[in-house]
Structure 1
Amino acid sequence: MKQQEKVARKRLLDYLDIHYYYQADTSANDAAAKALRLRATRSLWDPTYVDESWVGTSPQNHQPNPTAVTLIPRFKTLIQQNYPGTKLFISEFSSTADTDITGGLVTVDMLGLFGKFGLDGATYWATPDVNGPVGLAYWLFRGFGTFFGSTSVQVSLSTPNPDTQGVFAATEKNKLSLVIVNKNPDTAISFNLANVPSGQYFIRHFGGEAGVAKWQVRD
């Protein structure tokens, strides 16, 4: 496309569209499979995460660091090398377990990572129940009464553990939004937030033993 652009004298490709599904087998949906599902989101960004599937043991490509997918940074690098200015779109992705609480947590984590690492667009495969775990993951970011900001904000944890936790922040018209993910539903965690502006915040939550319990309140 880059080469042909010189002939056509106009840009020929606006978006590179890919599909991405986790390759590890989590079909058993037992405790080990659920923990693996929650870890798998690291393949979107983490160069130290060796994929826990055939990718990590028998990679089918010759790209640098082939056992670590590092999906978004990898494709952004390839775009920069081959056709700068092309946007990146994932038109199919899935939690691998739409009706399980871990599927909702995976989706929350993925949506946050899409924003953090600058993905230009994504669409979910199939139409999940709006009141199920995946539907509620979207509700956290864009449900009635809230809007997750268009500009990502850098946030960090003092003791980060991407296997079990995540935090994402963004701004929109001077409004700060935070999404906090506890990917270990059996263990409560606490966060010390610094430099958060004082004022009235709209709080929403889903999870709990029922897996889909939700509430929202102004604080």
Structure 2
Amino acid sequence: MTSASATIGAVLLAAGNASRFGAPKQLLMLDGEPMVRRMAMAAVAAVLSPVVVVTGAYHEQVLASLGDLDVQVIEHRDWSSGMGGSLAAGVRAIAEQAPSLTSVMLLLADQPSIDATDLARMLKAHARRPDRILAARYDGHLGPPCLFPRFCFDELAALHGTHGARALLDTYAERVDAHDLPAAAFDIDTPADHARWLARYRLEQPDR
């Protein structure tokens, strides 16, 4: 799908310095692929287009890890101000690149259990009510991945500091639908999270 014909794109956030992990977790190798690349590949496989990856603290390394994937990488130099600014930069970039977009999916680089099938199911659910926000539901709350219709773009593009997409989920609570996605519950913030993910993955892949 080319950007000219796209209706739903993705903004993948990979800008932080992973202070709790103590190393660039975006580049953490999981099943032979850097974590950020895994999510970018899932977005491309789910036919989201364009896919904009927002980098920051480790721009050059993340850029190199994405190799020949059909994604656009933008560097948000003010990444340290908070996730809101990184998200806003991604939304501005994707809206400029693909003005025909009707919705954008927000993705995080550190949710490695989410795959292309999960994203495709969210897209199918969103297609039934495309004028509403769709947010993943896990562990009793709503969060990324999220799909935001066009009416949200201006507010997303104006976010700053630590105020991320949660602000819109709260503001438009009556226009938010939930999509059960247990895989979204697992994110990697610390080395202990990584160890737990590896242990679970090995249990789920006994022949590997």
Q: TM-score, normalization: structure 2?
A: 0.29
Higher helix fraction: Structure 1 or Structure 2? 2
Higher-Rg structure is 1
Greater relative contact order, per chain length (Cα 8 Å cut-off, separation 6+): 2
Q: TM-score, normalization: structure 1?
A: 0.28
